[in-house]
Amino acid sequence: MKVSVVQSGNCTQSTSENVEMLLGLCAKAVTSKPDLILLPELATTPYFAAGDKSPKYRDWAESATTGPSTAAFAKFAKENNTSIAYGMYEVDNDVRYNSLVLIDRSGEVVRGKTHDGNTYPAFRKLTAPSVHMPTLDVHEDEYCTAGPGPMNFKLDGASIGALICYDRAFSEPWLANRALGADIVLLAVSSLGWRESLFIDDLRLRAMETGVFVIAANRSGEETCGGVTHDFFGLSCIIAPTGEVLAQAGGHNYPEIIEAELDMSLLKSARESWPVWTDRRPEIYSWMYKN
């Protein structure tokens, strides 16, 4: 599978303008004929949960299946014979989520399946953060509801998991993705602040420990929303299950497109040489999850 990652940034207050900008970047990415293009978290809007607390941002949410953003990306995917995964602000029955939508090369939305067999039109961020630090002040919980659980997607014969930004800080979602059969984990990010120095090494370790390819798209550069300017650190990357960095974008710059071809045969050898998954002992940790 050949994948491209679009590191975008500096979104305007107009979703339609942002979609046009992203489609222009996808048009550049598609020249190398990727099977999948990944865009960052909340790619079609500014990252509004780190500025003022205006209720107007709730109006930016749209349907993952029938909204204009999905329609535009679906048209592009079908016309260019590629798949696209993009982060969006989703509304479903008046409930809002921070979501990742996967569209296949026929222009159809791929539904994700949770461990209990339920399906959803998008992966929904598992934890809506409320984090208040000198270098990171986020109140996403005031705009988004936490998602129902980890999901697995089938695309072109590949088994794909998904995470969004803050999800990567928890070990359980990584383990759950592997338990659901993921060979690839898509990570959509809008990250800034102190975690920049840890970003690449963190994902290298997660890839190696879990035995999966990690494809991460981060927002990058300065962006102003609600009178507050933030500098997102970028560093989008593609990482093999061995922990090797196959491609990496620069820091604090946009736009940038990176690409890599995933050698799926690496999965077997990487998992055999570093058998953390088979050697784990979940039964001795179950006590931690009892109330």
What is the percentage of the chain residues whose pLDDT exceeds 70? 100
At residue 137, the pLDDT reads 83
User: What pLDDT, in 10s, does the model give residues 217-233?
Assistant: 999 999 999 889 999 99
Whether the pLDDT of residue 107 is over 80: the answer is yes
pLDDT of residue 26: 98
pLDDT band at 133 (very low <50, low <70, confident <90, very high): confident
Q: Is the pLDDT of residue 260 over 80?
A: yes
> Dihedral of the CA atoms 282, 287, 290, 291 (nearest 10)?
-150
194 vs 30, higher pLDDT: 30
- Write down all domains in the chain, each with its CATH number in brackets: 2-289 (3.60.110.10)
Q: Is the pLDDT of residue 239 over 90?
A: yes
**pLDDT for position 217:** 98
Query: Strands 237-239 and 213-218: what pairing?
Result: antiparallel
Per-residue pLDDT tens over the stretch 173-213: 999 999 999 999 999 999 998 899 999 999 999 999 999 99
